[in-house]
Chains A and B, each alone.
Chain A
Protein backbone atom coordinates (compact mmCIF):
# COMPACT_ATOMS: atom_id res chain seq x y z
CA UNK A 1 0.00 0.00 0.00
CA UNK A 2 1.18 3.48 -0.74
CA UNK A 3 1.90 5.83 2.14
CA UNK A 4 3.11 9.35 2.72
CA UNK A 5 5.01 10.67 5.70
CA UNK A 6 5.32 14.33 6.48
CA UNK A 7 8.01 14.93 9.08
CA UNK A 8 6.99 17.58 11.55
CA UNK A 9 3.34 18.34 12.19
CA UNK A 10 4.36 21.94 12.99
CA UNK A 11 7.12 24.01 11.43
CA UNK A 12 7.93 27.54 12.52
CA UNK A 13 10.13 29.92 10.53
CA UNK A 14 10.89 33.61 10.64
CA UNK A 15 9.67 35.90 7.91
CA UNK A 16 12.27 35.93 5.13
CA UNK A 17 13.76 32.57 6.12
CA UNK A 18 13.88 29.43 4.04
CA UNK A 19 10.82 27.20 4.18
CA UNK A 20 11.42 23.44 4.03
CA UNK A 21 8.53 21.03 4.46
CA UNK A 22 9.44 17.38 4.24
CA UNK A 23 7.57 14.63 2.47
CA UNK A 24 8.62 11.02 1.99
CA UNK A 25 6.60 8.36 0.24
CA UNK A 26 6.66 4.62 -0.07
CA UNK A 27 6.56 3.28 -3.55
CA UNK A 28 7.69 0.48 -5.78
CA UNK A 29 6.60 2.30 -8.93
CA UNK A 30 7.01 5.89 -10.07
CA UNK A 31 4.40 7.97 -8.30
CA UNK A 32 2.49 11.12 -9.01
CA UNK A 33 3.13 13.57 -6.19
CA UNK A 34 1.20 16.63 -5.09
CA UNK A 35 1.48 19.41 -2.57
CA UNK A 36 -1.72 21.08 -1.40
CA UNK A 37 -2.16 24.08 0.84
CA UNK A 38 -5.05 24.93 3.11
CA UNK A 39 -5.15 28.56 4.16
CA UNK A 40 -7.18 29.51 7.25
CA UNK A 41 -10.89 29.65 6.50
CA UNK A 42 -10.35 28.28 3.00
CA UNK A 43 -10.45 24.94 1.21
CA UNK A 44 -7.63 22.98 -0.36
CA UNK A 45 -5.60 24.50 -3.15
CA UNK A 46 -3.12 22.70 -5.37
CA UNK A 47 0.36 24.16 -4.99
CA UNK A 48 2.20 21.96 -7.45
CA UNK A 49 2.39 18.44 -8.82
CA UNK A 50 4.99 16.03 -10.15
CA UNK A 51 3.91 13.78 -13.00
CA UNK A 52 7.20 12.25 -14.24
CA UNK A 53 8.39 15.26 -16.21
CA UNK A 54 11.06 17.55 -14.74
CA UNK A 55 12.18 16.53 -11.27
CA UNK A 56 12.15 20.12 -10.04
CA UNK A 57 8.60 21.38 -10.04
CA UNK A 58 7.66 25.02 -9.64
CA UNK A 59 4.33 25.91 -8.14
CA UNK A 60 2.35 28.94 -7.18
CA UNK A 61 3.39 31.61 -4.67
CA UNK A 62 7.11 30.93 -5.11
CA UNK A 63 7.04 27.34 -3.89
CA UNK A 64 8.88 24.50 -5.54
CA UNK A 65 9.53 20.84 -4.86
CA UNK A 66 12.13 18.39 -6.04
CA UNK A 67 11.42 14.75 -6.73
CA UNK A 68 14.32 12.58 -5.54
CA UNK A 69 13.76 8.98 -6.45
CA UNK A 70 16.80 7.70 -4.54
CA UNK A 71 15.50 9.27 -1.36
CA UNK A 72 11.79 8.71 -2.12
CA UNK A 73 11.27 12.33 -1.19
CA UNK A 74 9.34 15.30 -2.50
CA UNK A 75 10.22 18.13 -0.13
CA UNK A 76 8.57 21.53 -0.55
CA UNK A 77 10.69 24.66 -0.36
CA UNK A 78 10.43 28.41 -0.65
CA UNK A 79 13.51 30.65 -0.42
CA UNK A 80 11.89 33.38 1.66
CA UNK A 81 8.85 32.93 3.88
CA UNK A 82 6.09 35.49 3.91
CA UNK A 83 3.50 35.97 6.62
CA UNK A 84 0.80 34.97 4.14
CA UNK A 85 2.41 31.53 3.78
CA UNK A 86 1.11 30.50 7.20
CA UNK A 87 -1.17 27.57 6.46
CA UNK A 88 -1.52 23.80 6.57
CA UNK A 89 0.41 21.93 3.86
CA UNK A 90 -0.40 18.44 2.68
CA UNK A 91 1.70 16.10 0.58
CA UNK A 92 -0.16 13.45 -1.42
CA UNK A 93 0.81 10.52 -3.64
CA UNK A 94 -1.02 8.52 -6.26
CA UNK A 95 -0.26 5.93 -8.91
CA UNK A 96 -1.72 4.79 -12.18
CA UNK A 97 -2.11 8.23 -13.70
CA UNK A 98 -3.21 9.88 -10.53
CA UNK A 99 -6.02 7.91 -8.99
CA UNK A 100 -6.32 6.81 -5.40
CA UNK A 101 -4.75 9.72 -3.60
CA UNK A 102 -3.13 9.13 -0.24
CA UNK A 103 -2.44 12.14 1.92
CA UNK A 104 0.22 12.73 4.52
CA UNK A 105 -0.79 13.97 7.93
CA UNK A 106 -0.15 17.59 7.11
CA UNK A 107 2.34 20.19 8.36
CA UNK A 108 1.24 23.46 9.86
CA UNK A 109 3.59 26.24 8.84
CA UNK A 110 3.83 29.21 11.18
CA UNK A 111 5.66 32.35 10.13
CA UNK A 112 7.03 34.68 12.80
CA UNK A 113 7.54 38.37 12.13
Chain B
Protein backbone atom coordinates (compact mmCIF):
# COMPACT_ATOMS: atom_id res chain seq x y z
CA UNK B 1 0.00 0.00 0.00
CA UNK B 2 1.19 3.50 -0.79
CA UNK B 3 1.65 6.04 1.92
CA UNK B 4 3.88 8.35 3.89
CA UNK B 5 6.13 7.00 6.59
CA UNK B 6 7.60 9.16 9.29
CA UNK B 7 10.17 7.93 11.74
CA UNK B 8 10.77 7.80 14.56
CA UNK B 9 7.43 8.31 16.25
CA UNK B 10 9.13 9.75 19.33
CA UNK B 11 12.50 11.47 19.37
CA UNK B 12 14.51 13.07 22.13
CA UNK B 13 17.15 15.71 21.59
CA UNK B 14 19.91 16.79 23.90
CA UNK B 15 20.92 20.42 24.18
CA UNK B 16 23.12 21.49 21.28
CA UNK B 17 22.40 18.38 19.25
CA UNK B 18 21.16 18.15 15.69
CA UNK B 19 18.50 15.55 15.01
CA UNK B 20 16.98 14.38 11.74
CA UNK B 21 13.38 13.38 11.19
CA UNK B 22 12.68 11.01 8.37
CA UNK B 23 9.83 11.29 5.86
CA UNK B 24 9.46 8.77 3.04
CA UNK B 25 6.62 8.44 0.56
CA UNK B 26 5.95 5.83 -2.11
CA UNK B 27 3.06 7.70 -3.69
CA UNK B 28 5.20 9.20 -6.46
CA UNK B 29 4.27 12.65 -5.23
CA UNK B 30 6.25 15.64 -6.44
CA UNK B 31 5.51 18.00 -3.55
CA UNK B 32 6.45 17.37 0.06
CA UNK B 33 5.97 19.49 3.16
CA UNK B 34 7.06 19.76 6.77
CA UNK B 35 4.76 21.27 9.39
CA UNK B 36 5.18 21.93 13.06
CA UNK B 37 2.42 21.89 15.62
CA UNK B 38 2.63 23.37 19.10
CA UNK B 39 0.10 22.67 21.86
CA UNK B 40 -3.27 24.21 21.14
CA UNK B 41 -2.00 25.82 17.95
CA UNK B 42 -2.53 25.20 14.27
CA UNK B 43 0.07 23.80 11.93
CA UNK B 44 2.86 26.04 10.71
CA UNK B 45 4.84 25.40 7.55
CA UNK B 46 8.58 24.89 8.01
CA UNK B 47 9.82 23.91 4.55
CA UNK B 48 8.38 22.56 1.35
CA UNK B 49 9.66 21.06 -1.84
CA UNK B 50 7.86 20.92 -5.15
CA UNK B 51 10.49 18.98 -7.03
CA UNK B 52 13.66 17.01 -6.45
CA UNK B 53 16.73 19.09 -5.58
CA UNK B 54 14.63 22.15 -4.85
CA UNK B 55 12.98 23.41 -1.68
CA UNK B 56 11.67 26.64 -0.21
CA UNK B 57 11.40 28.11 3.26
CA UNK B 58 8.03 28.22 4.90
CA UNK B 59 6.85 30.50 7.67
CA UNK B 60 9.19 29.23 10.41
CA UNK B 61 12.30 27.87 8.69
CA UNK B 62 14.87 29.30 11.10
CA UNK B 63 16.72 26.56 12.95
CA UNK B 64 15.72 23.87 10.46
CA UNK B 65 17.24 22.43 7.30
CA UNK B 66 16.01 20.00 4.66
CA UNK B 67 17.22 18.15 1.60
CA UNK B 68 15.41 16.61 -1.35
CA UNK B 69 17.91 14.39 -3.08
CA UNK B 70 15.32 11.79 -3.98
CA UNK B 71 11.69 12.19 -4.92
CA UNK B 72 10.50 9.86 -2.20
CA UNK B 73 12.51 11.34 0.68
CA UNK B 74 12.35 14.71 2.44
CA UNK B 75 14.29 14.58 5.74
CA UNK B 76 14.08 17.45 8.19
CA UNK B 77 17.03 18.34 10.43
CA UNK B 78 16.33 20.23 13.61
CA UNK B 79 19.56 22.07 14.31
CA UNK B 80 20.98 23.36 17.58
CA UNK B 81 19.98 26.83 16.38
CA UNK B 82 16.33 25.93 16.95
CA UNK B 83 15.91 27.04 20.55
CA UNK B 84 12.43 25.67 21.07
CA UNK B 85 12.30 22.37 19.19
CA UNK B 86 9.76 20.55 21.35
CA UNK B 87 6.75 20.04 19.09
CA UNK B 88 4.89 17.61 16.91
CA UNK B 89 6.26 17.43 13.38
CA UNK B 90 4.09 16.37 10.50
CA UNK B 91 5.18 15.49 6.99
CA UNK B 92 2.80 15.68 4.05
CA UNK B 93 2.91 15.18 0.32
CA UNK B 94 0.79 15.62 -2.76
CA UNK B 95 1.08 14.86 -6.45
CA UNK B 96 0.64 18.41 -7.62
CA UNK B 97 -0.28 21.81 -6.31
CA UNK B 98 -3.99 21.26 -6.96
CA UNK B 99 -4.06 17.77 -5.49
CA UNK B 100 -5.07 16.54 -2.06
CA UNK B 101 -2.56 16.40 0.76
CA UNK B 102 -1.61 13.10 2.33
CA UNK B 103 -0.17 13.04 5.83
CA UNK B 104 2.34 10.95 7.72
CA UNK B 105 1.67 9.88 11.29
CA UNK B 106 4.03 12.46 12.75
CA UNK B 107 7.05 12.63 15.04
CA UNK B 108 6.93 13.99 18.57
CA UNK B 109 10.24 15.70 19.37
CA UNK B 110 11.18 16.51 22.94
CA UNK B 111 14.25 18.07 24.51
CA UNK B 112 16.04 16.24 27.30
- Chain A residues at the B interface, C-beta cutoff of 8 Å: 32, 34, 36, 38, 40-41, 43-44, 46, 49, 51, 88, 90, 94, 96-103, 106, 108
- Minimum distance in angstroms from A84 CB to a CB of chain B: 15
Q: Is the interface of A mostly helix, strand, loop or mixed?
A: strand
Q: Hey, which bits of chain B sit against chain A, CB under 8 A? A: 33, 35, 37-43, 45, 48, 58, 87-88, 90, 92, 97-98, 100-101, 103, 105-106, 108
Q: Which residues of A contact B106 (CB under 8 A)?
A: 100-101
Shortest beta-carbon distance, B109 to chain A, in Å? 10
Contact, CB under 8 Å: A44 / B39: no
Partner of B100, one of A32, A46, A94, A108: A108
Contact of A99 among B33, B37, B100, B101 (CB under 8 A): B37
B101 and A38 contacting across the interface, CB-CB below 8 Å: yes
